[in-house]
Each structure stands twice: as C-alpha cells, then as structure tokens.
Amino acid sequence: MTKIKELIEDFKLNQEILGREKKYVDLCLFRLYRWEKFTVNVLRVTETEEVTQLHIKKYIQERQREGSEVNTTLNNNIATLKVFFQYLVNEEFIDEQENPMRRIRNLKEEKKVIVTFNDNEVSRIINDLKEETYSNVRDKLILIMLFDTGIRVSELCNIKNIDVARRHILIHGKGSKQRLVYISNIMRKYMRRYEAFKQERFRKRLLDEVEDYYFLDQSAIKLSRSRINKILKEHCNNAGVRKEVRCSPHDCRHYFAQKQLRNGIDIYSLSRLMGHFDTQITSKYLRGLEQDDILQIGRLHSPLNGIKIKQSSL
C-alpha cells in the first residue's frame, strides 16, 4: 500500500524529468493536492490502492456542490486525475482494472461560440505601429507572427535564432513536441526589416551579452509573455477593438484558426499547424463560423470541382 501523497510526489518528479512546463506541473499539483485533501480528510482514504470510482464521483459531486466551477473547469480536474492514474497504471503501482478513472466520463459543457478579431480589427491593430524604432519594428513583427501563424505566445517567446530558416520556423510546442510553421511573404518582409534593426541595435555588444532568442527587449534579453500581452493590449485599445474580444495572444490564435477554416483548410491540417494533439481540440473553432461560411467552404471545395463531366444532349 502506498500513500496518495507519496505518489503525487512521484508523479511530479516524473513530469519534471519529462521536461513539462512548470506552469503545467504546478497546475496538476494544485488539482491533485486539492483532491488528495478531500479524499483523506473527508472520505478517510489514504492509500492509493483503496481509491474507487465511487470516491472519485463523490469528489466531483463535492466540487459541483460548491458551485464555484463551471463544467469546463471540472472536466480539467477530471483530465488531471486521468493523467495521474494512467501514470500509476503505466508504472505498475496499480492494475488497469483498479484504475478508478477508467469509467469516469466528462461532464456536459456549454458550447460557447468563440468571438475573435475580424479582418478590419487585425488591420487596425497591426497598422497602429509606426516603423520608426527598434521596439516598434519588433512589436509589429510580433503581431504579424501571432496572427499569421497561430503560434502560442510561449512558443513565440522561445523562438531562437537557430530556429529561423528561410521558409519556415521550428516551433518548440507543448509536451516537447516540435513542428514547423511557414513564413509567408508578408512575414518574411517584416522579419528582414526587424533583423536589420536588431543587428544595428546590438552591433556594439559582445556576443555573450546578447541572448540567443529571436525576439529581444532593449537590453538584449528574451521577451516575456507578460510583455507581449501588454503590446497586444495597447494596440487593441488604440484600434478600438470590440469589448467582447479579450485581446489576448490566444485570441490571435483563434483568429488564425477561424480564418484558415474560412479559407477551406481541413481540420487535420489545421490541427498540425496549431500543434494540437488531436482534431477534437481543433474542432471547437468551427463553432465560430457562420452557416454562410460553412456553405461557402462547401461550394469552393466541392469534390467535383475541376472534374470534367460530359453532358449528354437532350
């Protein structure tokens, strides 16, 4: 028999060895220790092998009774418990048949339509920057890259000089997964401009005084996620973006996904571009499309487009 707390610590160590992001590990631990506290103090279960499906259901019910979390958040807690117990199965702490999460289903979620930027707002945001200084040229490229590639803000911050090739950028995504994103003609144009400004800005510095990241602040240090958030917020405010759009870097990702779907890309290809593990995550972006958009995609991408069909004379 093994104490629940001991195996949570074992799980934590394994996640760190695998190179999971600290933010992800911390969130998992927060959820697991909250569950462990309820299981030990309320249900009086201290050993991992004693946890049953009924105990899990009682915990979910308790979270529902408190009423402070929507089903989406509760499902995230369920997902963490599933990852934890699957780890215990893989490491042979418990048998597959003893996994209490085996038959636990997700709760029904309200399917909200994702509201994101429109083309006019994107144009105003990007054009709000005057290309006169290093910071402005850099910030303009950051905005273009977020809208044009759909990469996560953490992925953008972590781009290194060596990751940038002539036609693509190597992205280091979630779960140590790597993927390539294309460099469009417009992005390439602004990358060249930024690289020229960057070279001039730091030309008097020694190599070891300049960090090897692609986007740098005025002190030659890697840009932070919070700084990029502020850049986007500032230019969203200047551009008069609608209040229902949150104006976070993730909204740029939403815009990218919906624009690609309107342009007729298939879900599988889009999921690859966005670094999703499966197409179910990507399919939520379909909810932001109007019925007319769906019909237009169908018209433009009919399977019989381009096929010659002989018409018999009547």
Q: Return the higher-pLDDT residue of 295 and 145.
A: 145
pLDDT tens for each residue of 198-233: 999 998 888 788 899 999 999 999 999 999 999 999
Q: Taking Cα atoms as reference points, which of 200, 181, 203, 199 lies closest to residue 260?
A: 181
Range in 89-98, 129-138, 175-184 with the lowest mean pLDDT: 175-184
pLDDT of residue 156: 96
pLDDT band at 187 (very low <50, low <70, confident <90, very high): very high
Q: Angle at which helices 267-274 and 249-262 pack, to 10 degrees?
A: 150
Alpha-helix runs per DSSP H in the chain: 4-17, 22-41, 53-66, 71-90, 119-127, 134-149, 153-157, 185-201, 225-239, 249-262, 267-274, 279-283, 291-300
For the chain, the average pLDDT equals 88
How many Å apart are CA 177 and CA 70, to the nearest integer?
Answer: 30
pTM of the model: 0.69
Q: How confident is the model at residue 131 (pLDDT cuts 50, 70, 90)?
A: confident
**Is residue 31 a contact partner of residue 60, using CB atoms and an 8 Å limit?**
no
pLDDT of residue 311: 57
Choose between 275 and 54: higher pLDDT: 54
Mean pLDDT of the 88-116 span: 88
Rounded Cα gap, residues 80 and 30, in angstroms: 10
CA–CA–CA angle 303, 308, 309 (5° rounding): 95
Q: For position 269, what pLDDT does the model report?
A: 84
Q: Give all domains of the chain, ordered by start, each with its CATH number.
A: 4-98 (1.10.150), 119-297 (1.10.443.10)
**φ and ψ of 180, to 5 deg:** -105, 140
Helix, strand or coil, per DSSP, at residue 71: helix
Give the pLDDT confidence score for residue 46 in this predicted structure.
93
Least confident of 31-40, 198-207, 297-306: 297-306
* pLDDT at residue 89, rounded to an integer: 94
